[in-house]
Amino acid sequence: MSKMAIRVPKSMRAKRELLKHAPKLVENGKKMLILHGTKTSAVLNSVLADLFHLKRDHAVKYTKKNDSIRPFESGGETSLEFFSLKSDCSLLVYGSHSKKRPNNLVLGRTYDHHIYDLVEVGVENYKSIESYAYDKKLAPKLGTKPFFAFIGEHFESVEGLKHLKEMLLDHFKGEVVENLNLAGVDRIFVCTAISPTTVYMMHCALRLKRSGTSIPRMELVEVGPSVDLVLRRHRQAAESLQKEAMKAPGHAKKVKNVTNNPVEGKQGRIYIPDQEVSKLTVTSNIKGLKRERRDAKKNKEHSKKQKVAENPE
């Protein structure tokens, strides 16, 4: 078994140098957890299967039915948080079917494996991937990045749709990257707000064609799935939890000898060495002594004149 040496800074200067060259903290890609409720319909089973197909590189699907999950009820989130911790997933999709809420789909996010926020929608007019006929060469590749198009003013004016927009972006955007090749973007999610409570969502492939310029012409080929999402319930995160979750990781530059006092505000300390007055050397180059030197010079010249007057040759 080999041992690895760990560099331990011996001074504050060495510690600061190590922090400068430390690697940046990068958030890993979010995984999606897909769960079934006590009762599901054929439509809902198809929805969950297609979602797993779209996110199969970053998704975990459990097929067992769960009767103890009640996302919007007190105490009904325990099982969701347990499965999130077990599978290391921060995105949740839970499907259930009942007479009161048919074809019900709950989208959620977690922070530190605790429920952060939730959006509940109803599934209507669903068309699965298998129902579309197209050239399979146009099918989006695994791991590619999608475009998003949100059409409709309701995404900016209706609070529920604004929340749904954030949820859809987080569930389908994939990993965060700094550079992107246009050839690797081969799909787009088009979301249209047809009413304050309904969003029509479809998944299309991008087909690049010649345009006579360096920028190709793009055509959309619908490859499925497509669905009407009817907004039912949504729950935002608490304000304190939002502030904690939005904190960016990193090493903040510490200012020496500066503290923040809640009463007196920002305070600083300065170092002044002890002054030994007895050992200070007083120089003659002081402005306050110039007049004394002029007076002494005048007195000296005056005394010389007096001596000359008293002892003439």
Residues forming beta bridges with residue 221, ordered by sequence position: 205
CA distance 269 to 255: 11
Q: In terms of DSSP bridges, do strands 265-268 and 258-261 run parallel, antiparallel, or are they unpaired? A: antiparallel
Q: What is the pLDDT of residues 154-176, one digit of tens each?
A: 999 999 999 999 999 999 988 77
Going by pLDDT thresholds of 50, 70 and 90, the confidence category of residue 283 is low
The count of C-alpha atoms lying within 13 angstroms of the C-alpha of 113, restricted to the half-sphere facing its C-beta, is 11
75 in Cβ contact with 115 (< 8 Å): no
pTM for the whole structure = 0.70
pLDDT (tens digit, 9 = 90+) per residue, 63-72? Answer: 888 888 888 8
Contact 50, 225 (CB under 8 A): yes
Show the tokens assigned to 286: 């002081």
Residue 1's pLDDT is 42
Domains for the chain: give ranges and CATH numbers.
Answer: 27-246 (3.40.50.10480)
Is the CA virtual torsion 50, 56, 58, 64 positive or negative? positive
| Separation between Cα atoms, residue 121 and residue 105, nearest integer Å | 5
pLDDT, averaged across the chain = 83
3-state secondary structure of 308: helix
Per-residue pLDDT tens for 254-276? 677 888 877 777 888 887 777 77
Q: CA–CA separation, 50 vs 172, rounded Å?
A: 13
Q: Which of 77, 70, 97, 86 is nearest to 33 (CA)?
A: 86
**Interior CA angle at 216 toward 211 and 220, to 5°?**
105
pLDDT of 182 higher than 50? yes
Tell me the longest C-alpha to C-alpha distance in the chain.
138
